Amino acid sequence: MTAVELIRRKRDGGELSTEAIRSFIRGVADGSLPDYQASAMLMAITWRGLTPRELGDWTEAMLRSGEVLDLHDLPGVKPGLVVDKHSTGGVGDKVSLCLAPLVAACGVRVPMIAGRGLGHTGGTIDKLEAIPGFRTDLSRARFKEVLAEVGCCVIGQTDWIAPADRRLYALRDVTGTVESIPLIAASIMSKKLAEGLSGLVLDVKVGGGAFMKDRDAALELARTLVGIGGRTGLPTRAVLTAMDQPLGRAVGNALEVLEAWEVLCGAGPDDVRELTLVLGAEMLALAGMGTAAEAQVELVDALRDGRARRKFLEMVRAQGGDASAIPDGLPRTGATEEVCAAADGFIVGIDAELVGEAAVALGAGRRAVADRVDPAVGIVLDRKVGAPVRRGDRLCAIHVQDGSNPLEAKAKVSAAFHLGPTPIAALPLVLGRV
Amino acid sequence: MTAVELIRRKRDGGELSTEAIRSFIRGVADGSLPDYQASAMLMAITWRGLTPRELGDWTEAMLRSGEVLDLHDLPGVKPGLVVDKHSTGGVGDKVSLCLAPLVAACGVRVPMIAGRGLGHTGGTIDKLEAIPGFRTDLSRARFKEVLAEVGCCVIGQTDWIAPADRRLYALRDVTGTVESIPLIAASIMSKKLAEGLSGLVLDVKVGGGAFMKDRDAALELARTLVGIGGRTGLPTRAVLTAMDQPLGRAVGNALEVLEAWEVLCGAGPDDVRELTLVLGAEMLALAGMGTAAEAQVELVDALRDGRARRKFLEMVRAQGGDASAIPDGLPRTGATEEVCAAADGFIVGIDAELVGEAAVALGAGRRAVADRVDPAVGIVLDRKVGAPVRRGDRLCAIHVQDGSNPLEAKAKVSAAFHLGPTPIAALPLVLGRV
């Protein structure tokens, strides 16, 4: 069948054969399929969806457009002990920074390939690069070395991983086909499958600051992701977590490294710590290290006895970073501005998306792929949902470069805080599991 | 709104504003909109459709991407007396060749911009170009001159007509979005509106040899077309006609000119003659020249008294053609092959699509846009649906160039004829009106 015949079949609600999907994705990867046919197919899939069988085939075809990390020959890596976490993206989510060393400290390898920030959500790679000297562009050989020696390593997207996904992802962004759940799921899973994992934990965010605004859509995505894991032989668990207000207090690259460090030292904000433990426990459980409850005990120990933070510093050094810069030598701005409460009351909501946009306005994130980020700028929230405030109380500090006037960021942050006359309980962090 | 926002709105079933549609089509026409965004929008429209208001705007925006023929300054052309016919395409449909001079002979101007054949249906332009010297690439000024002097003129698609449609049409062909009724309708109407008409008659073909295989789809297309006419101020009527078996007996360019000539001389196959009169009567009625029944009388007179055929020769001469070549100097092949009945019985069906494909295999039509056509080759059916046959009777003659072996065409034509033990009545030609 020709490409146009495949598009027509999907348009009419038909099913594509395994071979048809492979040939289509081959065309995406080798460039022989024109953009206009790829985008017509993407819209037809947004319309008609993909059956579980098609979705498994689509994901595997994208995976096979690149290479899979082979960890069999790696010294010290036991089969079944290579696990990663992926989050669908939120504001202030620095959990990967805590989780990779924490889980590695418990004896599980974490080969994490992470993204940069785009739009209102930050990216793990940008955060780690706030550490002076930290390199996220390691070669595949060096990635494996660090993984063997340290137990965890975090690098950015690379050429050898699912090149077909990279082309489709760029196209989806400009053709209104980003929101398709099967396409989202295939994109995530094809990249994670390339890490050669024995287990995967997904943090599917739900709420105003997340890609999935409501629980039903998030649940569908979670089920789709776990379904692909089942079809492709990768044990996968998903946790639905709240992303209505930012996670933790810090939003901004170096500020978030600092907060992650606090968590690794056994302190830090409750929600970041809780999410780290919840996801970490799932990762250990997937690796066969007991139940999630047993695993939590092990994780708390690793935070308490210093193993987790030492593992973090080990990873920083192995990736070229200056470990002595943590925590006091991280980039910081010369000035801070304040946003204060305009009335007495209670914080009943903090719009995570607006806070994320405020951070982008400061330069902490990107509006376009080619933008540079400023590692030092950001926002630190003083209070979260449920807290009482009095008129004039500081709600947050905005870390800005000297001489800059963060008008846009201030306006967005001010608008993000919702005050009310009666206290409100924040949502529980964990909203569901698949 | 950006292009991707417009795509997303249509994807989600929303309505596009007039300004949004204009800006989108402007981007199509000036090339600033990339193919991949145009094709994503085309698929979203195939999915969600267009409201009548959107469809009117879309058609007008495409029309305005080019120019409109201005016939106001044309000597001898009265307002209200400029009418054209458009057919959705069939096999053996040479009615335009009869209709343009016949209607012009009755005092109505017919500024016909026609297409070339592609796939299994032939094109009016290819047929006329079978006449030695006949030019269909006239300048706009010459087109108007011929229209003023002769009363009818037939030219091919030109650059100044709806360039946005040309780009979208090419894209639809390769992105599985050809079948969308609103997109088909907008494409047809934007081109016809450019002719500066006061009325338009549409021949919407239904059946195995037509684009619309069933009556419901054809009816929907007819209603959509007439609806656009209403919104854009062009009085439009549609006739649904049968296209199960080929129209007339001849399929192939010069062979069809010859058959059209027979009709213009008052003879020719019944179905071609009937369809010419039906459509011609609608055209005259739209021009205000009485009822359709009264108009039929006028048309029959023009066929009988020679006015129609003289008008045809006038048009041929005005467009550079050798009128003395009609009928005996038309290109013809040196050889014919026969396809004969394999059994006694009755013809219960002639698959028009297969006959069309057989003609393409002979070289009478195009598989790709760049193919050249052979004016002389083609097929002449001896019998049509309902006729009795005896084993060995000739079913059709295949006109081939000397030395060629029309294996594929013969196989297709043989397969096209369906014989049965009992006679069957052919469908009535006119299946409905809108």
- Is B85 an annotated catalytic residue? no
Q: Do A176 and B7 touch (CB under 8 A)?
A: yes
How far apart are the C-alpha atoms of B301 and B306, rounded to whole Å?
8
- Is B144 an annotated catalytic residue? no
Type of residue found at B253? N
Residue A77: predicted pLDDT: 64
Exposure string of A383-407, with b = 16+ CB inside 10 Å and e = fewer, is: bbbeeebeeeeebbbbbbeeebebe
To the nearest whole angstrom, how far is the Cα of A246 from the nearest Cα of chain B? Answer: 27
Residue A358: predicted pLDDT: 96
How far apart are the C-alpha atoms of B31 and A361, rounded to whole Å?
32
- The model's pLDDT over A71-97, given as tens digits with 9 standing for 90+, comes to 877 776 676 789 999 999 899 999 999
| pLDDT over 90 at A130, yes or no | yes
- Is B213 an annotated catalytic residue? no
DSSP B365-390: S-SSTT----SS-EEEES--TT-EE-
On whether the CB atoms of residues A346 and A423 are closer than 8 A, the answer is yes
Q: Do A11 and B174 touch (CB under 8 A)?
A: no
Q: Which of residues 381-410 of A touch B (CB under 8 A)?
A: none
Q: Do B37 and A175 touch (CB under 8 A)?
A: yes
Q: What is the arithmetic mean of pLDDT over A380-397?
A: 96
DSSP B116-141: --BTTB--HHHHHTTSTT------HH
Closest CA to B385 of B412, B430, B413, B420: B420
Residue A76: predicted pLDDT: 67
Residue A367: predicted pLDDT: 81
Q: Do A37 and B42 touch (CB under 8 A)?
A: no
Residue B193: predicted pLDDT: 94
How far apart are the C-alpha atoms of B167 and B39, rounded to whole Å?
11
How far apart are the C-alpha atoms of A395 and A418, rounded to whole Å?
11
Which residues of A fall within a CB distance of 8 Å from B42? 40
Q: pLDDT truncated to tens, each residue of chain B (434 aa)?
A: 899 999 999 999 999 999 999 999 999 999 999 999 999 999 999 999 999 999 999 999 999 999 998 887 777 667 678 999 999 989 999 999 999 999 999 999 999 999 888 778 889 999 999 999 999 999 999 999 999 999 999 999 888 899 999 899 889 989 999 889 999 999 999 999 999 999 999 999 999 989 899 999 999 999 999 999 999 999 999 999 999 999 999 999 999 999 999 999 999 999 999 999 999 999 999 999 999 899 999 999 999 999 999 999 999 999 999 999 999 999 999 899 999 999 999 999 999 999 999 999 999 998 887 888 999 999 999 999 999 999 999 999 999 998 888 999 999 999 999 999 998 887 889 999 99
Say what the alpha-carbon torsion angle B105, B313, B120, B370 is, to the nearest 10 degrees.
-120
Q: From the list A7, A36, A47, which residue is nearest B35 (CB)?
A: A36
Confidence of residue A427 (pLDDT cuts 50, 70, 90): confident
Residue A368: predicted pLDDT: 81
